[in-house]
Structure 1
Amino acid sequence: MDLVVGRVVKSHGIRGELVVDVRTDEPELRFARGSVLRGRLPRGGGERGFTVTAAREHSGRLLVSLEGVAGRDAADALRGTLFLIDSSEVEPSDDPDEFYDHELEGVPVQLTDGTEVGVVESVLHMPGGELLSVRTPDRREVLIPFVRQIVPTVTRELIVIDPPEGLLDPDSADGAQ
């Protein structure tokens, strides 16, 4: 299973540096000089390998230089590229309150009274916070804000939610997708 460790936001400057939105707790390892990254190119462009030649922090993001990416045009062509690693390369967290996205995919979700809600399909990282994309038994997608007030219990075996009224209602604009 693939894990996203970064996404190219845009180019930076004229030398081909990339502004990367980091999605890993270990950017110093994943984006170290000489690291080989697997990149999924945007718009169905396939995958290719990239070797990191330099990385530095800049304004809360990472600026990354890659071998063979020289100039603004080459960097702009990579906008939207996802940098991936295989989940087998990641050790599970020892902290019971920390989870990698892939550890929650496939976990059953139920209400506090035990009623089945569905199964987590993915964790979405949005500007306002994380959402659990849950597939219900009737195949609807429900987006659950991944906050303690709504998701009080999370384990790798079961997620218990206490949603506000209407969140799971298929007729609600906020509860059904």
Structure 2
Amino acid sequence: MDATEGHVVARIGKPHALRGEVTVQLHTDDPESRFVPGVVFDTRAEPGSGVPRQLTLATTRVHQGVWLLGFEGIPDRTGAESLRNTRLVLAEEELADDPDEGWYEKDLVGLTARTPDGEVLGEVVALQLGAAQDRLVLRRPDGSEALVPFVEAIVPEVDPEAGRLVVDAPPGLLDLDTKGE
């Protein structure tokens, strides 16, 4: 699979202890079925980082509410540190059986963001994966960019077939990124 295909199911965080385990930020609603020893993930990492194009899951456990993963060929903390910020990717066909898996960047980029009243707020140009929540990056009609928390309370409707999504932003949210410029 090409590294640009598939869906990110987790982002690797910091190493845990000395045996090569890493913490992960989940981007899946079903980690129990996604993180099974033997599963091979494609990776997305910075070019030149030395991260293998694929990682095979060797161990998985939850420690104090945090998912810890270990990979074949990553025996120690130094190896685990080299994986930091790598995204773990599964092929689309491996996720196709899960209709609740969520929205992916390729589904969202290009959609027109509108208020509940229909006013155009901008176009979705990216999805930023965040530690606490993901954020939509909107290119505003004036060319500026705004970040919108991608949570149901603020983005209650996503309709790719109609080419739009609804952003019901609290007052001032879309002005935060432009203050002080």
Q: TM-score higher than 0.5 here?
A: yes
Once residues 66 and 92 of structure 1 are traced to their aligned partners in structure 2, the CA distance between those partners, rounded to angstroms, is 25
Q: 1:134 to 1:87 in 2, by over 3 A?
A: farther
Please say if 1:4 is aligned against 2:8.
yes
Map 1:59-138 onto structure 2 (within 5 A): 59-91=64-96, 94=99, 99-102=102-105, 103-138=107-142
Once residues 12 and 124 of structure 1 are traced to their aligned partners in structure 2, the CA distance between those partners, rounded to angstroms, is 25
Instruction: Write the deviation string for residues 70-99 of structure 1: whole angstroms up to 9, x where unpaired.
Output: 11211122222211123343227656xx73
Once residues 25 and 82 of structure 1 are traced to their aligned partners in structure 2, the CA distance between those partners, rounded to angstroms, is 16
Percent of residue pairs bearing the same amino acid type: 36
Once residues 78 and 119 of structure 1 are traced to their aligned partners in structure 2, the CA distance between those partners, rounded to angstroms, is 32
Q: Match of 1:160?
A: 166
Q: What TM-score do the two structures reach when normalised by structure 1? A: 0.78
SS at match of 2:134: strand
Among 151, 164, 172, which residue is 2:155 paired with? 151
Instruction: Write the deviation string for residues 85-139 of structure 1: whole angstroms up to 9, x where unpaired.
Output: 23343227656xx732233332221123322222222333434533221123443
Count of residue pairs the alignment pairs up: 173
Once residues 163 and 14 of structure 1 are traced to their aligned partners in structure 2, the CA distance between those partners, rounded to angstroms, is 44
Q: Match of 2:32?
A: 28
Q: 1:141 to 1:37 in 2, by over 3 A?
A: same
Shift of 1:34: 0.8
Once residues 54 and 7 of structure 1 are traced to their aligned partners in structure 2, the CA distance between those partners, rounded to angstroms, is 16
Q: What TM-score do the two structures reach when normalised by structure 2? A: 0.76
Looking at secondary structure, tell me which structure has more helix per residue. 2
Q: Give the unaligned 5+ runs of structure 1.
A: none
Q: Match of 2:179?
A: 173
SS at match of 1:79: coil
RMSD, aligned α-carbons: 3.0
Once residues 170 and 26 of structure 1 are traced to their aligned partners in structure 2, the CA distance between those partners, rounded to angstroms, is 33
Looking at secondary structure, tell me which structure has more strand per residue. 1
Q: 1:8 to 1:152 in 2, by over 3 A?
A: closer
